[in-house]
Chains A and B, each alone.
Chain A
Amino acid sequence: MVEATPPKIELRGICKSFPLGHGQVRSVLDDVAFSAQPGEFVAVIGPSGCGKSTMFNIMAGLETASSGEVLVDGDVVTGQHEHFAYMPQKDLLFPWRSILENTSLGLEVAGETKKIARARAASLFAAFGLSGFEDAHPFELSGGMRQRAALLRTVVQGRDVLLLDEPFGALDSLTRTEMQSWLQGVWSQNAWTAVLITHDIREAIYLADRVVVLSARPASVRLNLTIDLPRPRALSMTTSAEFAGYERTLLTTLHEETRSSKAP
């Protein structure tokens, strides 16, 4: 019997509760399950504080799940970090390192020589719109450029799956739109598998092949919506009727969740 190729990444029944002391626990994730095919871009949205970052921490092996497992290419990898490249909410570029040194940090930590690590990172600078800024320091860059540098640092590690936690959350809306269309562009030229956390419904639809909606805390998957828009995507698509339809569906689901999280 020939098995179907397993998804690139799969989450099965991930639960997580934090002990609060005095015998009390806070249940944050309750049976979260979804998967991503190779090269697929999955966006995750959910009410703030529902446990999205916690989910990433578990995938990246920074936090242990109370139960459930994480699979990559069909193998259980729960608690292992080497399959995921993690881009946290803050850009976390270090002021004592130049942009080139910052972007090659992951490879250096993984044991590459400085020379090879820097050459590998440098080869991506043009695609990330950072040419000429190799020797600049993070505080000399605009917010959008810092975010691109942080993404370069994530991508260059060559891991199986990218985890992007609200990468554009702190940018002004003009820069954010610019970044989204740029990311959409580099995306269509690469076969990266990625999970993106966002609180921006339009960003999710515009960038993702699939949008996973999480419920209020304790989070579980409320909706798993395939976005069937052709690629490459133009900004003009965001005004199409299909786009508006997806937006309405997601907005309704999310609204119900936000209301129920406020209910006593």
Chain B
Amino acid sequence: MKNSITVKPAPAPRIRLLPALAPPAALLAALVITWQVAVTAGGVQPAILPSPQRIFQQGWEARTAIWENTLPTLHETFLGFAVSLTVAWTLAILIDFSPGLRRALVPLLVASQAIPLIAIAPLMVIWFGFGMLPKVIVIALVTFFPVAVGLIDGFNRTDRDAINLLRSMGANRWKQFVYVRLPSALPSFFTALRIGIAYAVTGAIFAEYVGAERGLGIYMAMMKNSFRTDLVLAAVAVTAFVSVCLFLLTYVAERAIIPWHSKERRSRHG
């Protein structure tokens, strides 16, 4: 039989980054220009609200200090996020295999989100000192929940008919997990990963803010205390930049690990 429908080879996945980045970049530029003009024209005190230009100048002059404080923050972020991912994956898989554990643990996970971190973070300093450990714990605490819930939910949303197909082939619970539940959950894992990573950097800053030896958080706190509003905002800009980079990195990882996902989605939406 001849195939009546010829299929074009799938085009290589092009990262359409530029068209996606242009509108937000343009909006950001407009806001910065407005800010610059307003501050200059209004004669606002730099200690109250410095102009973008001043922030950039002073930030550039303080670049060594900012860079030296960025590195420990990045280090904590990666370590905390790695801990968070490990725990989230382990728990999500255990929960997926044990209905009893699911009933016992999921409500506790949800309740854990009611803990006010703003009260806990200073206690972490009392308990664990000014080093790396309390930061890693805070980052893990804030990022763990979205990732774990994304995974638990992803495993659980697997098509029931797909599970039945696997069962009809004779797949045990473990094979059902490996062949269907795990790959089905990966798209929602990457969504959760993006939410988690957005919290990770701010979590690190927050943990440092209440007490640290080095890092962007404690740098901001010190600059604030010496009324260097411009350097506080320069550090904020660096933080935002790092967050956006990590966020984009998750897309790169997604394309590398589940290339089929974006292709399938595109083919479904024309």
Min Cβ gap B262→A in Å is 11
Measured in the bound complex, the distance between the Cα atoms of B186 and A62 in whole Å is 26
Q: DSSP class of A's interface residues: helix, strand, loop or mixed?
A: loop
Q: How many residues of B contact A (CB 8 A)?
A: 30
A61: chain B residues at CB < 8 Å are: 167-168
B165: chain A residues at CB < 8 Å are: 86, 88, 92
Pairwise interchain contact B167-A81, C-beta atoms closer than 8 A: yes
* Cβ contact of A109, chosen from B10, B179, B264, cutoff 8 A: B179
Measured in the bound complex, the distance between the Cα atoms of B10 and A136 in whole Å is 9
Measured in the bound complex, the distance between the Cα atoms of B266 and A139 in whole Å is 9
Q: With A109-B169, A140-B10, A142-B7 in contact, do A96 and B183 touch (Cβ < 8 Å)?
A: yes
Pairwise interchain contact B161-A178, C-beta atoms closer than 8 A: no
Pairwise interchain contact B169-A139, C-beta atoms closer than 8 A: no
Measured in the bound complex, the distance between the Cα atoms of B2 and A212 in whole Å is 33
A84: chain B residues at CB < 8 Å are: 168
B171: chain A residues at CB < 8 Å are: 109
A85: chain B residues at CB < 8 Å are: 168
Check if A18 is an interface residue, CB within 8 A of chain B: no
Instruction: Please indicate which of the listed interface residues B10, B170, B268 has the most CB atoms of chain A within 10 Å of its own CB.
Output: B170
Q: DSSP class of B's interface residues: helix, strand, loop or mixed?
A: helix
Pairwise interchain contact A139-B179, C-beta atoms closer than 8 A: no
Min Cβ gap B92→A in Å is 19
B186: chain A residues at CB < 8 Å are: 96
Determine the residue in chain B with the shortest Cβ distance to A87: B165
Check if A129 is an interface residue, CB within 8 A of chain B: yes
Measured in the bound complex, the distance between the Cα atoms of B127 and A221 in whole Å is 74
* Cβ contact of B7, chosen from A81, A82, A105, A133, cutoff 8 A: A133
Check if A169 is an interface residue, CB within 8 A of chain B: no
B1: chain A residues at CB < 8 Å are: 129, 178, 182, 185
Q: Mark B1-35, 1 if CB is under 8 A from A, else 0.
A: 11111010010000000000000000000000000
Check if A49 is an interface residue, CB within 8 A of chain B: no
Check if A57 is an interface residue, CB within 8 A of chain B: yes
Determine the residue in chain A with the shortest Cβ distance to B266: A139
Pairwise interchain contact B170-A109, C-beta atoms closer than 8 A: yes
Check if A141 is an interface residue, CB within 8 A of chain B: yes
- 10 smallest CB-CB distances across A and B, nearest first, come from A86-B168, A142-B5, A139-B267, A95-B264, A109-B169, A106-B169, A96-B183, A139-B264, A129-B1, A60-B168
Listed A/B pairs (13) with beta-carbon separation below 8 Å: A88-B161, A88-B165, A94-B162, A94-B179, A95-B263, A96-B186, A106-B169, A109-B169, A129-B3, A140-B267, A142-B4, A142-B5, A144-B5
Which A residues have a C-beta under 8 Å from some C-beta of B? Answer: 57, 60-62, 81-82, 84-86, 88-90, 92, 94-96, 105-106, 109-110, 129, 133, 136-142, 144-145, 157, 178, 182, 185
